[in-house]
Amino acid sequence: MPPRLRLLTILFGLLTASIASAADMVLVSNTPLPATKSALTVQAFSALPDKIFKPGDIVGLSWSVPGATSVTLTDTTSGTQLEGLLAQGVVRVTPQTTTTYTLSATGPAGTITAKTQITLASAQPQSKWQASANGEPNLTALQRMQQQPESIGASLTALRDGTLYQGSFDGNYYQFSEKGTLNWTLKAAGVVMNQAAVAAERIYVGTSSAKGGRLLALKPDKSILWDVQTDSGVIASPTLNASNNTVYAASYNGTLLGLNAATGSEQWRYQLPEGETITAAPTLSADESTLYIHSTDHKVYAVSTEPAPPPGSTTTYQVIHNADGPVVVVPFSHSAPQQSTLRWQRDLQTEPTKLVEEM
């Protein structure tokens, strides 16, 4: 079989094969070429195809460098290398994103390098509109793109009526109509890097600034129901319980808060160990007795949502006299903030085997 036809046959088999591995480099064919003392020349170094439409698609990298005694291929994205290859060959790769591959060939005449790129192409949906954050109506906004003043680092929050809420790195919080008209801007709210929680005409959103953080409860008309200050930024999205009467928030420095959703009053708090930070939203158990949170240090915590007063605190009781019923005595307040308790914790970095066994 002629060499060119043999190479095409290898590539065809390569591209029709199935693979379930990550972005790797698998040697398919490798052959030597006659040695030469003339300057090295990269006769071929190409990708087939050079464009993929989903991560992990199979691509064949082929090369031919007459006179080379050693060839190294490098995936510049992951750093993966294949070394000690011969002058001609084919490698199967499955890139997860747009990736550049570098060839370095060495022979008696010296060294030569070459590059080729595989592009991850994605079909872009047609834009119905993009609102301008300057508040000025723009009749062409339904047809073309306009940029926000600063970068956006949070997901949009959409209500059933189509109203949209969006934070930005400019420190403002925006409300848009479903047609893209800017309804209002809440200035100096703080940097928003989370998606708001919404219930009963209330929008709960966490913000961050150089001074710390805030958890805001807003009405659709922009008025602030309550504003709770935190000593560290609130990067994680807040979480509501099923009845929407409690909102759970986590500040970056590892403080968990259970707040009355109507008033913002603190019901309890729990502090993770020093150095633990939180950027992901808390998750509530089905029976709402436990709040799960994971830190940026590979640890998972299960915290009770049924706090007890701290040791040594005192409780004030309120006596309610009912005209048509018995006297009722109920707890009224505590002299110190209520603290939640830790149910369990796991370290995903040091306990993977133990976790698998328990499952």
The pLDDT assigned to 129 comes to 54
312 — alpha (psi -120 to 50), left (phi > 0) or beta?
Answer: left
Distance CA 205, CA 315 (A): 32
Confirm if 230 and 213 have CB atoms less than 8 A apart.
Answer: yes
Tokens (6 digits) for 311: 């040791």
Q: Residue 353 maps to which CATH number?
A: 2.130.10.10
Domain of residue 110, residue span: 3-120
Q: What pTM, to 2 d.p., does this model score?
A: 0.51
Is there a single domain that holds both residue 108 and residue 160?
no
Confirm if 293 and 333 have CB atoms less than 8 A apart.
Answer: no
The pLDDT assigned to 329 comes to 46
Q: Would residue 70 count as lying in a domain?
A: yes
Q: What is the DSSP letter of 124?
A: P
**Rounded to 5 degrees, what are φ and ψ at 87?**
-70, -20
Task: List helix spans (H) across 166-244.
Answer: none
Is there a single domain that holds both residue 66 and residue 156?
no
Residues 6+ apart with CB under 8 A from 268: 257, 258, 305, 307, 337, 338, 339, 340
Q: Would residue 68 count as lying in a domain?
A: yes
Domain boundary among 120, 138, 170: 120
Is there a single domain that holds both residue 229 and residue 111?
no
Q: Is 274 helix (H, G, I), strand (E, B) or coil?
A: coil
Is there a single domain that holds both residue 65 and residue 177?
no
Q: How many helices (H) and strands (E) does the chain have?
A: 2, 27
| Total residues belonging to the chain | 359
Q: Would residue 95 count as lying in a domain?
A: yes
The CA-based angle 187-192-194, given to 5 degrees, is 145
Is there a single domain that holds both residue 168 and residue 279?
yes
Q: What is the pLDDT along the chain (359 residues), one digit of tens a residue?
A: 454 444 444 444 444 433 333 346 777 767 787 777 778 899 999 998 888 888 888 888 999 999 899 999 999 888 888 999 999 998 989 998 899 999 999 998 889 999 999 998 765 455 555 555 454 444 333 333 334 444 555 677 888 888 888 887 788 888 888 888 888 888 888 888 888 888 878 999 988 887 888 899 999 998 999 999 888 888 888 989 888 889 998 888 888 888 999 988 888 888 888 888 888 888 888 988 888 888 777 788 888 888 766 555 544 444 444 445 554 444 444 445 577 666 667 766 665 544 434 43
Distance CA 105, CA 40 (A): 8
The pLDDT assigned to 122 comes to 61
Is there a single domain that holds both residue 226 and residue 96?
no
Q: Would residue 288 count as lying in a domain?
A: yes
First and final C-alpha spacing in the chain:
55
Confirm if 167 and 151 have CB atoms less than 8 A apart.
Answer: no
Q: What is the DSSP letter of 253?
A: T
Is there a single domain that holds both residue 115 and residue 191?
no
Q: Would residue 328 count as lying in a domain?
A: no
Q: Residue 30 maps to which CATH number?
A: 2.60.40.10
Q: Would residue 256 count as lying in a domain?
A: yes
Is there a single domain that holds both residue 23 and residue 66?
yes
How many folded domains does the chain comprise? 2
Is there a single domain that holds both residue 74 and residue 157?
no
Is there a single domain that holds both residue 177 and residue 298?
yes
Is there a single domain that holds both residue 19 and residue 114?
yes
